[in-house]
Structure 1
Amino acid sequence: MDTKIYTKKDLKLAAKDINDGELVSFPTETVYGLGADATNEIAVKAVYAAKGRPSDNPLIVHVDGPNMVKKYAQPLSPEAQSLLDTFWPGPLTIIFKLKPNVLSKAVTGGLDTAAFRNPNNDVTLSLIREAGVPIVGPSANTSGKPSPTKAEHVYHDLKGKISGILDDGESKYGVESTVLDMSTDTPAILRPGAITSTEIEKVINKPVLDQRTKVADNQVPKAPGMKYKHYAPNAQVYIVDNEDEWKSSVKWAAEQNHPVGIMADNKNIDKYDWSDNVETFSLGDNVNSASHLLFAGLRHFDNEPEVKSILTQAFSSDGIGEAYMNRLNKSAGQVHFNLK
């Protein structure tokens, strides 16, 4: 299969692919998604096959606005409606209870809920409207690998496996959306993202739980990232937590008999005298830029098989840092430099 590169001029062609049951990667403000008609069970199953994704890992359904959600979800609470009014379109995915038999179990993982998102990307919103159907959209990468923030990342992983890639440049945020479960009595964050629990609580005037725990092997997760390994390059990632560890890492890296990758802000990259076997990748100047560049950095080193270790800077878990550290911990398997 030839994988075509589409631009916004090719929306009708990309939408036709979706309507024909083909797979098309699409851009969002967070990462690139792998799209299929959410109402076409065969197409949805093809998403799992293309990614190598476990079939009990439910998919996020992308919509062009609240009216499309209401076709599938049970009546929304006033709090839920307030969230849509405040944060949509944007990087907030919300889990709702479904009306009976409206979406395939391939979408929901057999649950009576589904996760919906209204992406803040005009090209993708136009794609959904042109296709006239909601579009499932897990990240457009090989399952378990760093999520794609550019069309070229998608092409690297899925060339020959999908019909096309709708290219709209680099993603704005670089980490996936916040996932909020509104199907239970008490709302709960299942995956942190750019929209924080504090921001959500201000809108709904009630506490939000943190339920980012990993689910058991015999359980079906409600949201992506709760059960299976995610964001991991081939090299071992080590989290470097503080200045003392950075000082130690300079000596440690020089002693390795293989190239070592360093992912840090400009201050830490410029501060130390790195050995010749070290290659640096800048995460910019702060946690905002680091969140944007994290996956790109992991993918950069994934393309260099001789790099066996990647030392990556930790940031405070405040604000967007919560999402950054969530993804970094998963990519490292919770391994910190001081515990290597």
Structure 2
Amino acid sequence: MIVRRPVKDCWLAVNLSGIIPGLGQFYGDQWTKAIVIFSAFVVLVIHSIWSLFAAEGSTTKAFWLIGAAGVVYLLNVWDAFATVGRPLYPLGNKRQGQDVWYGVFLSQILPGLGQWYLGQAVVGGLFLAVGAGLAMMANYQTPLLPVACTVWSIAGYHAYRSTPASPMQKPSRSTAMLAVVILGSLLLRLGIGSVPMWIDQAVLQCIVPSESMMPTLQVGDRTFVSRNSLYQPALKDIVVFKAPPEAIELLEADSETLFVKRVIGLPGKTVEVRAGNVWIDGQILEEAYVDGSIEYQWGPELVPPESYFVLGDNRNASGDSHVWGFLPRENIVGTAYKIYWPADRVRSLQR
């Protein structure tokens, strides 16, 4: 008695590996290879995220790791096709007809491509216009993201259902696999599309516009600012904040302008600037990050509750608390913890 293995479709394997690297190999019964590919991809992605956002991480290394993860992903998709290896005729032929999973694959790349492959130009054009249009609009209107992702998934489902049934391809048709591919691709797009929103909620990207924080921060430095509602500023932290009314008036700044300064005086501390130094409760504050001595005098004054005294590291060329007063706690956006670009300036700003 001859036992025949189930016929497997290489384009289904490609669709699966496009959702999760290694899943197509798993479908093709190459379990060891599937585990290796999945593990390599996950390690590269996690390491690249750490290198990019961690204070001690290297931004340049993060870019290389992201590139390596992209190469692994593409090779994984190609290998998924080769793993199953059933000869297909994706452009169609008289004996086999069109491949059901090839149409779905095209629709994952761009909505409407699967319909064009099936000769449905009008429907394909409609899916392309609506899907691509919503995707572009979602860049500016976040609530449209789920709608755009859903249209793309519907395009893949429609391509599957619109492909004429062929006796040669019946074994590769599977409602369960269809659900995995369509729902998996929907969740993948939603996840990737939501990444910028997740990042923006946790980390703010700022560009240093002035020389007020030199030499620590130079003009054009790009910094990551940690957003944390529970953050309590500590002495010498570099904080980014919304300009208080006094600063807006005295410095003629825009109300949306963000300032970056260093925390020098905490609530309840007495701050004084004299003899070229900062004094906290009568003791000189050691500041290795400042070049030169301070040329002005200020105080002594007691820092009010829920307020901070902040100064720029370039003490004699900074519009800060010695000009406009104390910084209210509610104005603080977060702490600048890393210069992530340019490449030769990448460094941690944490003490």
Specify the TM-score bucket, using the shorter chain as the normaliser. Answer: under 0.3
Q: Which has the higher helix share?
A: 2
Which of 1 and 2 has higher RCO (CA within 8 Å, sep 6+)?
1
Q: TM-score, normalised by structure 1?
A: 0.24
Q: TM-score, normalised by structure 2?
A: 0.23
Rg larger for: 2
